[in-house]
Chain A
Amino acid sequence: DIQMTQSPSTLSASVGDRVTITCRASQSISSWLAWYQQKPGKAPKLLIYKASRLESGVPSRFSGSGSGTEFTLTISSLQPDDFATYYCQHYNSYPYTFGQGTKVDIK
């Protein structure tokens, strides 16, 4: 199985900050990676797919990059609505696996 490792596990930031979350795969997954945002008590929301493609309706301050084994999610200017937990997930081969999550909270 492919293991997905996110860093950091928790990130404290302020509104307006540039935030970067890293996701590493235990083997190459090409660009078969998605990023999700989840708020407490809510379902996850797709932000980015195929490593760098922005889902329709997602603000352009979110961007994704990477291929192979190393990927990043960047929020260019953190907004109050962005405080949440973020997960990466690969869909290269079964079983699909998620990273352990990165909680972005208020500094």
Chain B
Amino acid sequence: QVHLVESGGGVVQPGRSLRLSCAASGFTFSNYGMHWVRQAPGKGLEWVAVISYDGSNKYYVDSVKGRFSISRDNSKNTLYLQVSSLRTEDTAVYYCARDMEMVTITGPDYWGQGTLVTVSS
């Protein structure tokens, strides 16, 4: 079955960077777009970014444009999110999620368990 495991979270100072990873298994990773969604403590869900199945298309929410970069390595079945110039308001659980359709981009279906990023001095 579909399995997504995020890693790379931790405590980081404002202005620093992290790279989040999401290891995928149980499906043909290279056929699906992939999303990152985050959730600040006690708050709702915020869609962050999506990458197409082949990495050729990437879209971001305005609040992270120029600071975050989504990428993927289909040979390693792994999704990444490079988060830079971190701000305290980026503190959240970051979820990776598979798109519900092959090849096209729609919305997420299966989600990982999340990795917590805490931005604090």
Contact = CB atoms under 8 A, between A and B. Distances in A.
B100 A46 contact: yes
Interface residues of A, number: 23
Interface string A41-65: 0111110010000010000000000
Interface in B34-67: 37, 44-47, 50, 59-62
Interface of B: 37, 44-47, 50, 59-62, 95, 100, 105-114
B109 A98 contact: no
Q: What is the interface of chain B mostly: helix, strand, loop, or mixed?
A: strand
Given A43-B114, A94-B59, 16 more contacts: A34-B107, A36-B45, A46-B100, A46-B109, A46-B110, A49-B100, A49-B106, A55-B109, A87-B45, A91-B106, A95-B61, A96-B50, A98-B44, A99-B44, A100-B44, A101-B44
Contacts of B50: 94, 96
A95 B113 contact: no
A96 B105 CA distance: 11
B45 to A, nearest CB: 4
A95 B59 contact: yes
